[in-house]
Amino acid sequence: MTTLFPIDDEGRWRTFLRLPGIHAHPARLAACFGGAIAPDLCAALQAEPRFAVRLTGVLEDVGLLPPADDALHCAEVDRAIVVQAPQELMAAALRAGALYWADAIANVVLAPDVEQLRSSLDGALIAFGLANRAAGPQGLRFDDLSHAAEVVARDGWYSFLAWVAQLPAGVRARLVLKFEDGAIAPGPVPALFAEIGPGLYRQAAGS
């Protein structure tokens, strides 16, 4: 299993905890102002360090920032992940899905099947699965190769949600603010992913 790098910049972690107004999705901030300020303007304000404390205060005023006292219980591996950009977090979710289906990806060997898999699933995810075929459950096979991308994305999302759910509440609340409202909504996660999903996601995020 890939070991996630330690946090090189402790300042990123402290900023994540203390000044989440910097990394909150602009639309989340705009909603705090009742629509009086457009998301584009909120993004411009976020780019100015002098507004960081004020924007964080706005999030606190509307009850979106619970105390971060429990952040002390956040594992270092998770600290290194939560400070990543939303795009990186979502890319890691797809890789987690590829890890789960890695053995199935590796067992697509017939030329017509390989071509069908390539037409459905991104080549980088195929390569990632092939390089980590022992990471996920063994013996899985795709029911329909044309839907490979869908099941990889679905199970990667389950892994991401399972990882988010086990974060300390204060850390989780700050992470969710990076996304548009409702983008990370609590939902049913199959028991298998509640068990193995966090580990798959951590490995994917560290790759």
Q: Residue 194 and residue 159: Cα distance in Å, rounded?
A: 7
Nearest C-alpha neighbor of 155 from the set 90, 82, 108, 96: 96
Confidence band of 9 (pLDDT split at 50, 70, 90): low
For the cut 90, the answer to whether the pLDDT of residue 3 exceeds it is no
Confidence band of 124 (pLDDT split at 50, 70, 90): very high
For the cut 60, the answer to whether the pLDDT of residue 140 exceeds it is yes
Give the predicted TM-score (pTM) of the model: 0.91
> For position 5, what pLDDT does the model report?
40
Section 181-192 average pLDDT: 87
Sequence-distant (≥ 6) Cβ neighbours of residue 191 within 8 angstroms: none
Section 107-134 average pLDDT: 96
Sequence-distant (≥ 6) Cβ neighbours of residue 80 within 8 angstroms: 4, 5, 6, 7, 205, 206
Section 98-102 average pLDDT: 98
CA-based radius of gyration for the chain:
19
Is pLDDT larger for residue 153 or for residue 7? 153
Structure confidence by residue, pLDDT tens digits, 19-54? 999 999 999 999 999 989 999 999 999 999 999 999
Confidence band of 207 (pLDDT split at 50, 70, 90): confident
